[in-house]
Copies of this chain bind each other. A is one copy, B any other.
Amino acid sequence: MKIFRDPVHDIIRFDKETDKLILDLIETKEMQRLRYIKQLGFSSITYPGAEHSRFSHSLGTAYLAKRIVARLAEQRGIQEKRWLKEITDNYYLLLCSALLHDIGHAPFSHAFENVTGIKHEKWTLQIINNPDTEVNQVLESHRKGFAKEVADVIARVHPCQTVVKLISSQLDVDRFDYLLRDSLMTGAGYGRFDLEWMLHTITIGEVDGVPEVGLDFDKGLSIAEDFVMARYYMYKHVYFHKTTRGVEIIARKILERVKGLLLDNEKIQCPDCLEELLKKPESASQSLYLELNDSILWYWFHVWTKSHDDYLRELCNRIVNRKLLKSADLSRFGPKELISIFWLMKEEGARLGGNYADYIEIDTPSTSSYSDPYLFKRSRADGEKEVKTVEGNNAYDNMEDAKEASEYIFLFDKQKNPHDLARASTIINAIREQKLEQQRLYFPVELHKYLCTILEKRR
């Protein structure tokens, strides 16, 4: 037995023989890199305890996958035994996918994706499929073609749908782990849910002939509600925290500025891995990408506090010495009014000179990467249409959209009929009504008074 002690799961246990494949993957360079990337990026600035790495989250996710297999194997009621068999037959596929699902993350992922225009999911798939990585080699040593299979699971295009759903759906091991871990580490009381009861009531059912991870209707309704609520609160209070988002904005601006300087062939010190990625992200080599981690960025943020470029220097001073932007909640304004305020601030910033204008930003943290029908109000109709209109040339391009399409939580009744949680629970419906989307305006403290004057008039 190889064990890892863990603040969330206590003892994470993998068998040295039967789980050797997992243990070998953990030892690869690419997995070890995740030790140097914080799970929550800049959240530790707001929540000092939240220093945990993507590595520990990945271990926890793989361990939960293992626990779920054990748990399902005890159940008699699983509809059509073949789904259960499918899972146990694909034990390694499940655990490897769980372990590797985040392997493509860059440091400060959202800022980075924004600037390069490449999602971490794409890197994840490339890293797993690239025969030069240790991860690929370990996977292929298990079975030829196995790396591709793991990548397909993560991309949600693998035919083994039970495994796909356990890795990414509304009730997946990824979410189970990150909610509990982020909640414990931030110290935020929200986000905790009764994992043991969740594992007790989890089951595999069938919806339109397709297997789905769901919960027992009678036992699972309350935990399902509680789980969705836990996520809701974590988004509201932790993931969308105004300070954290403000730091992310600065980080993005730093990367954008460096990119700009590089593209303009300005003289600027920059490590190779970053330079290539910022200049030509599409063709950047993966081995350089894998050199990226939090330390490198923080190191260079510190170095650039002495840069000769004024704007870059100022930005880096802001992030390193926490001279952050102020923010104002403008959720009550309509889009037109919001834009008008934004431009007024921009003008005033320009008038003041310096880089003031550059700091004005609207942030609406509900968009894109966080969309989830249980947290954000979206009619299913819209969701479905969207999926249908997307016509990717490459299966992987559809990944995000495919994810949307199956974002239901199913409750299976005694006759194994599926019920959508949102219909069974008025509470869950209500969460969507309760506005989570926020509109914030970020600006330098010097413009605070001016904003007050503007807002005064719009009361």
Contacts and interface: CB of A to CB of B under 8 A. Distances in A.
A427 interface: yes
Contact of A5 (B47, B321, B425, B429): B47
A415 to B, nearest CB: 13
A159 interface: no
Interface string A177-199: 00000001111111000101100
A101 B87 CA distance: 39
Nearest to A52: B51
Contacts of A184: 7
Contacts of A237: 222
A187 B430 contact: no
A35 to B, nearest CB: 7
Interface string A28-60: 010010011010000011011101110110010
Nearest to A75: B1
Contacts of A29: 321
Given A5-B188, A187-B5, A321-B29, A48 B44 contact: no
Interface string A1-40: 1011111101101010100000000010100100110100
B49 A187 contact: no
A76 interface: yes
A11 B200 contact: yes
A20 B398 CA distance: 49
Contacts of A426: 430-431, 433-434
A35 B7 contact: no
A322 interface: yes
26 contacts: A1-B74, A3-B200, A7-B7, A7-B187, A11-B196, A11-B197, A15-B74, A29-B321, A32-B321, A32-B322, A38-B51, A48-B55, A49-B52, A51-B52, A51-B56, A189-B196, A189-B223, A190-B194, A225-B229, A293-B302, A296-B302, A298-B299, A426-B430, A426-B433, A427-B430, A427-B434
B44 A49 contact: no
Interface of A: 1, 3-8, 10-11, 13, 15, 17, 27, 29, 32, 35-36, 38, 44-45, 47-49, 51-53, 55-56, 59, 74-76, 184-190, 194, 196-197, 200, 222-223, 225-226, 229, 233, 236-237, 291, 293-296, 298-299, 302, 321-322, 425-427, 429-431, 433-434
Contacts of A35: 44-45, 48
A52 B49 CA distance: 6
Contact of A10 (B7, B44, B196, B427): B196
A296 B430 CA distance: 48
Contacts of A17: 76
Contacts of A51: 38, 51-53, 56
A52 B184 CA distance: 13
Contacts of A291: 302
Nearest to A225: B229
A32 B410 CA distance: 38
Contacts of A190: 194, 222, 226
A10 B183 CA distance: 11
B298 A36 contact: yes
B11 A49 contact: no
Nearest to A188: B5
A35 B47 CA distance: 11
Task: Please give me the 5 A-B residue pairs with the lowest Cβ-Cβ distance, nearest first.
Answer: A430-B430, A189-B194, A5-B187, A299-B299, A295-B298
